[in-house]
């Protein structure tokens, strides 16, 4: 036994097999080989009466090594052979669970004869979140242990189960306090002393009488609605049917066939890409700021927020949820009280749904104070301005903060459209300034664009990236440009949407085409929800700055709707008319678009296809992403994907716009952009292919290639 990641030790007649492969003991080929060697050795050792299987480090096995999928390593040392070696040992094998036992780790535990866990341990089969299914016997053993319905719920939700729930479902045998390994050795000693039976999940039959005759049909109907087009959930149902109706060996083979189908699917490739991209996005490239852990990060013990409006209140909740005290600053008492009241109301609404207790509401509110005095911000380690989106107003606030905040305090701006460098300069201490662009509602949306200014100190950036993890945000670093990453790419998307409206497409057709591609919400519905007035004001501001293309018809649709008082859902009319929250086609909008088309000499067409809508809305968006990459605004293509997956409803099953472009093929994207340049003219450069995109396409490479 000489595997560096699996060790076999003996304590008298008890053997301990320990996996040690940081950071999460992922079940890689070398671990699987080490386990096979260990259990082969134990099978031939008459001196061993019982076995403990445990992990070193922070957690029991948290799953298969995801990076192995689609590589030759995936096929080495089949986990099912490991499970068979464990089950077929003629002495008890006890699995000692701590941390997050997930996926392949859960399947390893299910193959053991007994399972014990710490009180805080969690167990789960989250494969579905990666477009996979438990491919190591999980779909066959779990129903045999907890029944088909509970097994389906656990595998289709992918949600982890607490140790207590697992105990109640007989998924584990005991919860142990204190030293897990010692308890496990005692437990296996008792099994040996009492000659306890060896329990093999694979030999249990699912009690068919316990399976509701409508369970599978109802599950499939529910999936058809909520898991639109996803492959893995449907295959999980198929596997559980097999667990109920077929012998174990047959079910195991069936499971493996369906697992390979899922693993080879584009959906799973997209979800696995996003898994790693999200983690990469949280890291600063080494060249930029060295390694964060080598830097003097600035401790954030108290946060100030200037502006108690919807954004300021939502931002505050993130810190209160993390137990960080907040001072909320306003200029008028009534505005301050309104802001504090909104925070409390949000918490009480959560409590009314049973997702937090009233005691927790009180605890969070106790951490939140309000003031009308800037002086109250002097002991804050971070102050975030979330005042009205106007340069003069924000500059004045930043100047005050530069004067008031203590040395070393970080000053952040929540601006979504203004120049962070200008705001940083206004503070007089640009090295302490960073952008923190929260997405509304700020207490719900996971995405946070962290905008590094020209002068932002590396440790300020690293501190805020670490703080983002503390407040459970998915942080992506952006450079300074209009709209940073997300809103900058949104611009050509909305531009083409509005051009299509003037050419004769309806809001319904555009939204349906884009939603059929997978976007959570089409552009017209999205703007109606966010506010046509908000969109129009951004365009007006940029027109004032001369930052818009010279195209006279540029985004006139939202301007006109704004002038007509059609501000979207809030006025029951925007691109649609609203009956409650239901969007209804409004012929008045057609007339508005016809008028604008006539005004700007734009020919109306009746042959606009859904394919043209998707190409014209999404390919310029992807092209803008390439420009963002080549300008160094975003560090990685994956970062851009994470922005769009977490902030703009891009379909998870497509992995983000840059991953989707890779799947479509960059040469295809380029050809399409060239096609529209020829067909529509390129006077304003809308169809000019980004240099990086053209180069990658010519070299037959992809975004994110090493
Ligand atoms: N494979 C490879 N690397 C993994 C990994 C995995 N399964 N899980 C985590 N990592 C890396 C991650 O990339 C990061 O790396 C570091 O560990 C810390 O992760 C056959 C097919 C366990 C709850 O889906 O949910 O088993 O950035 O930042 O927030 O049926 O990681 O440090 O270089 O997320 O404390 C099923 C996935 C796989 C669990 C810990 N398992 N992991 O969260 O840390 S498929 C999963 C997680 C499977 C079998 C099937 C979380 C975590 P780096 P982290 P965390």
The reply to whether ligand 1 has any atom less than 6 angstroms from the CB of 126 is yes
The reply to whether ligand 1 has any atom less than 6 angstroms from the CB of 135 is yes
Please tell me the predicted confidence (pLDDT) of residue 307.
95
| Secondary structure (H, E, C), 462-485 | HHHHHHHHHCCCEEEEECCCCCCC
Cα–Cα distances in angstroms (integers) from residue 636 to residues 364, 416, 471, in the given order:
37, 21, 23
The reply to whether ligand 1 has any atom less than 6 angstroms from the CB of 130 is yes
The reply to whether ligand 1 has any atom less than 6 angstroms from the CB of 29 is no
From 63, 271, 273, 291, the mutation candidate for ligand 1 (largest count of ligand atoms within 8 A of CB) is 63
pLDDT tens-digit series, residues 289-324: 455 566 788 999 999 999 999 999 999 999 999 999
Residue 53 is classified by DSSP as E
| Secondary structure (H, E, C), 387-421 | CCCCHHHHHHHHHHHHHHCCCCCEEEECCCCCCHH
The reply to whether ligand 1 has any atom less than 6 angstroms from the CB of 531 is no
Query: Is the per-residue pLDDT at 146 higher than 80?
Result: yes
Q: What is the mean pLDDT of residues 625-654?
A: 97
Q: What length is written for the chain? A: 706
Query: Is the per-residue pLDDT at 390 higher than 60?
Result: yes
Q: Quick check: 1 and 17 in contact, CB under 8 A?
A: no
Burial of 580 (C-beta count, 10 Å sphere; 0-12/13-18/19+):
exposed
Q: What is the mean pLDDT of residues 628-639?
A: 97
From 62, 64, 78, 285, the mutation candidate for ligand 1 (largest count of ligand atoms within 8 A of CB) is 62
Residue 64 is classified by DSSP as B
Percentage of the chain lying above the pLDDT 70 cut: 98
Q: What is the mean pLDDT of residues 521-543?
A: 91
Q: Quick check: 642 and 659 in contact, CB under 8 A?
A: no
**Residue from 280, 268, 257 nearest 66 by CA:** 268
Active site residue 107: yes
Query: Is the per-residue pLDDT at 653 higher than 90?
Result: yes
pLDDT tens-digit series, residues 262-282: 999 999 999 999 999 999 999
Query: Is the per-residue pLDDT at 541 higher than 90?
Result: no
Reduced to 3 states (helix: H, G, I; strand: E, B; else coil), residue 370 is: strand
Q: Which residue has the tokens 């900058």?
A: 488
Q: What is the mean pLDDT of residues 617-632?
A: 98
Count of beta carbons in the 10 Å neighbourhood of residue 33: 16
Please tell me the predicted confidence (pLDDT) of residue 225.
87
Q: How confident is the model at residue 187 (pLDDT cuts 50, 70, 90)?
A: very high
Query: Is the per-residue pLDDT at 534 higher than 60?
Result: yes
pLDDT tens-digit series, residues 194-253: 999 999 999 998 888 889 999 999 999 999 888 878 999 999 999 999 999 999 999 999
Q: Residue 25 Cα, ligand 1 centroid: separation in angstroms?
A: 9
The reply to whether ligand 1 has any atom less than 6 angstroms from the CB of 127 is yes
pLDDT tens-digit series, residues 360-377: 999 999 999 999 999 999
Q: How confident is the model at residue 545 (pLDDT cuts 50, 70, 90)?
A: confident
pLDDT tens-digit series, residues 346-358: 999 999 999 999 9
From the candidates 65, 127, 491, 615, which is the catalytic residue? Answer: 127
From the candidates 65, 87, 107, 385, which is the catalytic residue? Answer: 107
Please tell me the predicted confidence (pLDDT) of residue 287.
57
Q: What is the mean pLDDT of residues 67-74?
A: 89
Residue 519 is classified by DSSP as -
Q: Quick check: 295 and 459 in contact, CB under 8 A?
A: yes
Q: Residue 254 Cα, ligand 1 centroid: separation in angstroms?
A: 26
The reply to whether ligand 1 has any atom less than 6 angstroms from the CB of 124 is no
Work out the angle at residue 263's Cα, subtended by the Cα atoms of residues 261 and 266, and round it to the nearest 5 degrees: 90
Q: Residue 63 Cα, ligand 1 centroid: separation in angstroms?
A: 7
Work out the angle at residue 190's Cα, subtended by the Cα atoms of residues 186 and 191, and round it to the nearest 5 degrees: 120
From 28, 31, 66, the mutation candidate for ligand 1 (largest count of ligand atoms within 8 A of CB) is 66
Reduced to 3 states (helix: H, G, I; strand: E, B; else coil), residue 656 is: coil
Work out the angle at residue 313's Cα, subtended by the Cα atoms of residues 307 and 316, and round it to the nearest 5 degrees: 100
Domains, in order of start, for the chain: 6-263 (3.90.226.10), 295-478 (3.40.50.720), 486-698 (1.10.1040.50)
Active site residue 127: yes
Q: Quick check: 124 and 160 in contact, CB under 8 A?
A: yes
Query: Is the per-residue pLDDT at 288 higher than 60?
Result: no
Please tell me the predicted confidence (pLDDT) of residue 167.
97
Asked whether the bond before 441 is cis by omega within 30 degrees of 0, the reply is yes
Mean pLDDT of the chain: 95
Which atom of ligand 1 sits closest to the CA of residue 129? 24
């Amino acid at each position: 036994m000489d595997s560096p990641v699996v060790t076999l030790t003996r304590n008298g007649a008890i053997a301990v097999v320990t996996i040690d492969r940081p950071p999460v003991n992922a079940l890689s080929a070398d671990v699987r080989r080490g386990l096979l060697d260990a259990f082969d050795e134990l099978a031939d050792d008459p001196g061993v009466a019982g076995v403990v299987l445990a992990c070193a480090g922070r957690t029991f096995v948290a799953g298969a090594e995801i990076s192995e999928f689609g590589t030759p390593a995936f096929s080495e040392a089949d986990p099912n052979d490991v499970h068979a070696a464990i089950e077929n040992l003629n002495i008890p094998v006890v699995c000692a669970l701590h941390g997050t036992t997930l996926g392949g780790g859960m399947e390893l535990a299910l193959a053991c004869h007994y399972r014990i866990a710490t009180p805080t341990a969690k167990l789960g089969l989250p494969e579905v979140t990666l477009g996979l299914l438990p491919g190591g016997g999980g779909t066959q053993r779990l129903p045999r242990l907890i029944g088909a319905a509970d097994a389906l719920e656990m595998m289709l939700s992918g949600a982890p189960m607490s140790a207590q729930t697992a105990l109640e479902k007989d998924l584990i045998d005991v919860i142990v306090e204190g030293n897990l390994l010692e308890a496990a050795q005692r437990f296996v000693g008792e099994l040996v002393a009492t000659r306890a039976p060896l329990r093999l999940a694979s030999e249990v039959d699912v009690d068919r009488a316990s399976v509701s005759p409508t369970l599978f049909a109802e599950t499939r109907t529910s999936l058809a609605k909520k898991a639109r087009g996803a492959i893995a959930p449907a295959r999980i149902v198929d596997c559980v049917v097999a667990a109920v109706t077929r012998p174990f060996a047959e079910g195991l083979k069936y499971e493996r066939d369906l697992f390979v189908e899922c693993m080879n699917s584009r959906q799973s490739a997209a979800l696995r890409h996003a898994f790693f991209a999200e983690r990469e996005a949280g890291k600063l490239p080494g060249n930029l700021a060295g390694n964060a852990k080598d830097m003097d990060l600035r401790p954030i013990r108290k946060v100030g927020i200037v502006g108690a409006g919807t954004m300021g209140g939502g931002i505050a909740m993130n810190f209160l949820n993390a137990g960080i005290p907040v001072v909320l600053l306003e200029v008028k008492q009534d505005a301050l009280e309104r802001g504090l009241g909104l925070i409390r109301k949000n918490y009480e609404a959560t409590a009314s749904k049973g997702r937090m207790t009233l005691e927790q509401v009180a605890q969070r509110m106790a951490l939140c104070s309000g003031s009308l005095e800037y002086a109250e911000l002097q002991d804050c380690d971070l102050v975030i301005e979330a005042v009205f989106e106007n340069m003069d107003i924000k500059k004045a606030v930043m100047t005050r903060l530069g004067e008031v905040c203590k040395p070393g305090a970080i000053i952040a701006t929540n601006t979504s459209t203004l120049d962070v460098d200008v705001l940083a300069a206004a503070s007089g201490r640009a090295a302490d300034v960073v952008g923190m662009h929260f997405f509304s509602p700020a207490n719900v949306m996971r995405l946070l664009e962290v905008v590094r200014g020209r002068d932002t100190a590396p440790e300020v950036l690293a501190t805020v990236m670490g703080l983002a993890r503390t407040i459970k945000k998915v942080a992506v670093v952006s450079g300074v440009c209009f709209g940073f990453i997300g809103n900058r790419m949104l611009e050509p998307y909305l531009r083409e949407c509005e051009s299509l409206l003037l050419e004769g497409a309806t809001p319904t057709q555009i939204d349906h085409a884009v939603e059929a591609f997978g976007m959570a919400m089409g552009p017209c519905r999205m703007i109606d929800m966010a506010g046509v007035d908000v969109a129009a004001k951004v365009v007006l501001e940029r027109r004032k700055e001369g930052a818009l293309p010279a195209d006279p018809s540029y985004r006139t649709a939202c301007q006109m709707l704004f002038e007509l008082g059609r501000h979207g859902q809030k006025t029951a009319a925007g691109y649609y008319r609203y009956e409650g929250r239901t969007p209804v086609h409004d012929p008045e909008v057609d007339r508005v678009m016809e008028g604008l088309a006539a005004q700007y000499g734009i020919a109306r067409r009746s042959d606009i296809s859904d394919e043209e809508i998707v190409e014209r809305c999404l390919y310029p968006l992807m092209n803008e992403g390439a420009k963002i990459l080549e300008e160094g605004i975003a560090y990685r293509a994956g970062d851009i994907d994470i922005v769009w997956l977490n902030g703009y409803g891009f379909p998870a099953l497509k992995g983000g716009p840059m991953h989707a472009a890779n799947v479509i093929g960059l040469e295809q994207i380029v050809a399409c952009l060239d096609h529209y340049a020829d067909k529509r003219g390129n006077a304003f450069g809308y169809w000019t292919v980004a240099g990086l995109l053209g180069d990658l396409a010519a070299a037959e490479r992809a975004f994110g290639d090493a």
